Amino acid sequence: MEEVAEVIEKEKDHLEKIIKVVKNGGKFLRPPYQKKSISISENLKMISHNLDRLSEQVR
């Protein structure tokens, strides 16, 4: 269960970064260790996908 909590915490941190970018009028966020920025909507899709996968594991 600790592993699940860690994944959720990681996604929460990612979402908080997205919120900061949006509040500052940004439309793109560069994920760590990647050269190219990704749109906010792509970042949100990635978070959604990760949480869906986690949900399936917990069931």
44-58 tens-digit pLDDT: 999 999 999 999 988
Per-domain boundaries in the chain: 2-58
Chain position carrying tokens 């970042």: 43
5-49 tens-digit pLDDT: 999 999 999 999 999 999 999 999 987 778 899 999 999 999 999
pLDDT reported for residue 6: 92
Query: What is the enclosing helix (H) or strand (E) of 39?
Result: strand 38-39
